[in-house]
Amino acid sequence: MNISRFHPLTPEGLRVTVASLPSSMPVQLGEGVEVAAETVADLRVLTELPHRIEVMVPFHIEADSIVIVNRASPENE
């Protein structure tokens, strides 16, 4: 799967990151990511982001596509 990696710093930046994705697309949260989100729609309504997150978005949207939210390592920021 080809993905793009983003490091949004604000909720607005996260909304831009997922703007073109279907609202019903599932979200997979990495270990230690304290976000309550199961779908892209849930990500869009967040008002706060944990520090140092990385959002991985698929290049091509398919039926089994997911958005992955992980903790970013300091060297990847």
User: In whole angstroms, how large is the CA radius of gyration of the chain?
Assistant: 11
Amino acid at 37: A
- Report the number of distinct structural domains present in the chain: 1
In sign, the C-alpha dihedral spanning 9, 10, 15, 21 is: positive
**Structural domain harbouring 66:** 3-76
pLDDT digit string (tens) for 15-71?
Answer: 999 999 999 999 999 988 999 999 999 999 999 998 899 999 999 998 899 999 999
Q: Collapse the DSSP code of 67 into the 3-class scheme (helix H, G, I; strand E, B; otherwise coil) and give the result.
A: strand
Q: What is the pLDDT of residue 73?
A: 78
Pairwise CA distance, residues 72 & 20, whole Å = 22
Pairwise CA distance, residues 38 & 67, whole Å = 10
Q: Are 57 and 4 in contact (CB under 8 A)?
A: yes
